[in-house]
């Protein structure tokens, strides 16, 4: 038994070694910097503008790219056997359904509430009283 | 020998059909279930946000860094936190790599660096939480207006503290696990055992913590 574990440790040398680690590090850093640059570019942009939504979409795509690099190279999943990869990745595909269904549901709930509960809509248009500097600090 | 013979041979018993050690496979399945837990949290947050009129602008909420006073520097502090976690993930991979080479000193060195990275991240988070608390934000309290100046709900702070707290707890337990691994490395446990597979398992957990931060960071601070 002990021998088989050792042979497993021996077998799993596939992968690019230190060179690959640094390559992935650079990719992750660049992706993060691009994300931050996009985040900065959104400051002051209109909340509901199409441009802002597009930038948010790009940030989400970059986020997924980062997730791929961490799982595939740092967690070494890319170099595992295909069957094993599938037992991890296929269940996670449920997220595609979870995210689209729940976000669409939330959005439609908001629209119905604004349409039928006028009181709620009016209330959500009230401005927050401007607090004087320092008053919101806890005593 | 063609492929079919090899494949059936793999499932005949006597060896791992996934060519992965049992503990490591179970770590993967645990992480998958943990991914669903975090996913459920983040989807609940997204759903609530989609169901709410208006939402606070992260760039006005998270705009300070230590010793910066009341400066307006959105994203600066959180980008430092992100890089700390990425770098500590890199040192963890390097520790695993040294483990393959059976280099005890190398593993110990990179484990120390990884632990330091984890502690630095926790320190940053502690500072941020304290700062937000003193601004009046906590579970059930939200001093920040929506981006358009209207009154916001406490959902913003509730989700923020719950999810970053849950992630911070994972970082904390990751640091503890890494400390135990470091002690075992220094005592030569893995050297006697003949392999450093345990470091790989701890590494998987640590990378997962970094992975979750990628999502938390994007969902709360960027969009």
**ipTM value:** 0.89
- CB contacts of B48 in chain A (<8 Å) are 106
Lowest model confidence (mean pLDDT) among A7-11, A65-69, B35-39: A7-11
Domain containing A98 equals: 93-125
A134 falls within a domain: no
Q: Are residues A69 and A32 in the same domain?
A: yes
Residue B217 has a CB neighbour count (10 Å cut-off) of 24
Element spanning A64, H or E: helix A50-69
- Percent pLDDT > 70 in chain A is 82
Average pLDDT over residues B187-211: 96
Task: Look at A92 and B35 and tell me if their CB atoms are within 8 Å.
Answer: yes
Residue B214 has pLDDT above 50, yes or no: yes
pLDDT at A36: 93
Residues A75 and A111 both lie in one domain: no
Do A42 and A101 fall into the same domain?
Answer: no
Q: In chain B, what are the domains?
A: 24-222 (1.20.120.80)
C-alpha A53, offset from chain centre: 15
Task: Name which residue leads in pLDDT, A132 or A21.
Answer: A21
The mean pLDDT of chain A is 85
- Contact yes or no for B118/B88 (Cβ under 8 A): yes
Per-residue b or e along B176-208, where b marks 16 or more CB atoms closer than 10 Å to that residue's CB: ebbbebbebbeeeebeeeebbbbbbbbbbbbbb
- Looking at the structure, do residues A47 and A99 belong to the same domain, yes or no? no
- A19, A47: one domain: yes
pLDDT of B16 reads 80
- Contact (CB<8Å) B208/A75: yes
Q: How far is CA B103 from CA B18, B95, B188, B190, in A?
A: 27, 9, 11, 11
The span from the CA of B85 to the CA of B114, in Å, is 9
pLDDT band at B63 (very low <50, low <70, confident <90, very high): confident
Residues A66-112 pLDDT 10s:
999 999 999 999 989 999 999 999 999 999 999 999 999 999 999 99
pLDDT at B175: 98
Q: Do A29 and A74 lie in a common domain?
A: yes
Residues of B in contact with A110 (CB under 8 A): 50-53
Instruction: Check residue B125 and give its pLDDT.
Output: 95
pLDDT number for residue A132: 53
- Looking at per-residue confidence, does A47 or A83 come out higher? A83
For residue B89, give the nearest of A22, A88, A63 by alpha carbon.
A22
Number of domains in chain A: 2
> Same domain for A97 and A76?
no
pLDDT of A1 > 50? The answer is: no
User: How remote is the C-alpha of B31 from its chain's centroid?
Assistant: 11
Among A37, A123, A124, pick the best mutation site for testing chain B contact (most B Cβ within 10 A).
A124
pLDDT for res B4: 53
Mean pLDDT of B139-143: 94
pLDDT, residue A137, reads 47
Indicate whether A73 belongs to any domain. Answer: yes
In the Cβ-directed half-sphere of A56, how many Cα atoms lie within 13 Å?
Answer: 15
Contact between chains at B18 and A80 (C-beta distance less than 8 A): yes
Q: Which residues sit opposite B141 in a β-bridge?
A: B138
Residue A135 within any structural domain of the chain: no
Identify the residue with better confidence: B155 or A4: B155
A132 within some domain: no
Q: Give the pLDDT band (50/70/90) at residue B85.
A: very high
Alpha helices in chain B (DSSP H): 3-10, 22-50, 58-61, 76-100, 104-134, 155-186, 189-193, 197-217
Task: Give the mean model confidence (pLDDT) for residues B146-162.
Answer: 93
* pLDDT for residue B180: 97
Residue A138 lies in a domain: no
Are both A40 and A105 inside the same structural domain?
A: no
Predicted local distance difference test score (pLDDT) of residue A10: 47
User: Are residues A75 and A106 both part of a single domain?
Assistant: no
Q: Does residue A50 form part of some domain?
A: yes
Residue A136 belongs to a domain: no
């Amino acid at each position: 038994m002990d021998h088989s574990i050792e042979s497993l440790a021996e077998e799993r040398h596939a992968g690019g070694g230190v060179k690959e680690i640094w390559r992935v590090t650079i990719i992750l850093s660049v992706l993060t910097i691009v994300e931050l640059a996009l985040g900065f570019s959104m400051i002051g942009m209109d909340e509901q503008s199409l441009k802002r939504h597009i930038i948010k979409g790009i940030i989400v795509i970059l986020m997924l790219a980062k997730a791929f690099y961490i799982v595939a190279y740092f967690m070494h999943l890319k170099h595992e056997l295909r069957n094993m990869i599938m037992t991890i990745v296929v269940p996670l595909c449920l997220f595609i359904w979870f995210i689209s269904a729940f976000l669409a549901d939330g959005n439609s709930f908001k629209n119905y509430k604004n349409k039928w509960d006028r009181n709620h809509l009016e209330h959500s248009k009230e401005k927050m009283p401007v607090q004087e500097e320092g008053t919101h600090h806890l005593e | 020998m063609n492929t079919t013979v090899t494949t059936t041979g793999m499932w005949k018993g006597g060896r791992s059909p996934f060519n992965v050690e049992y503990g490591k496979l179970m770590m993967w399945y645990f992480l998958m279930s943990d991914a669903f837990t975090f996913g459920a949290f983040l989807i609940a947050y997204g759903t609530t946000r989609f169901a709410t009129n208006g939402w606070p602008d992260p760039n006005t909420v998270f705009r300070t860094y230590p010793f910066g006073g009341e400066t307006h520097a959105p994203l600066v502090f959180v980008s430092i936190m992100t890089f700390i976690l990425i770098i500590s993930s890199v040192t963890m991979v390097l520790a695993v790599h040294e483990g393959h080479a059976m280099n005890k000193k190398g593993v110990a060195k990179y484990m120390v660096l990884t632990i330091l990275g984890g502690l630095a991240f926790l320190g940053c988070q502690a500072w941020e939480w304290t700062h937000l608390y003193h601004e009046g934000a906590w579970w059930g309290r939200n001093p920040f207006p929506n981006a358009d100046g209207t009154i916001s709900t406490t959902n913003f702070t509730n989700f923020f503290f719950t999810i970053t707290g849950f992630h911070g707890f994972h970082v904390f337990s990751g640091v503890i696990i890494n400390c135990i691994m470091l002690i075992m490395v220094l005592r030569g446990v893995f050297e006697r055992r003949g392999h450093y597979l345990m470091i790989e398992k701890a590494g998987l957990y640590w990378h997962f913590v970094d992975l979750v931060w990628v999502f938390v960071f994007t969902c709360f601070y960027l969009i």
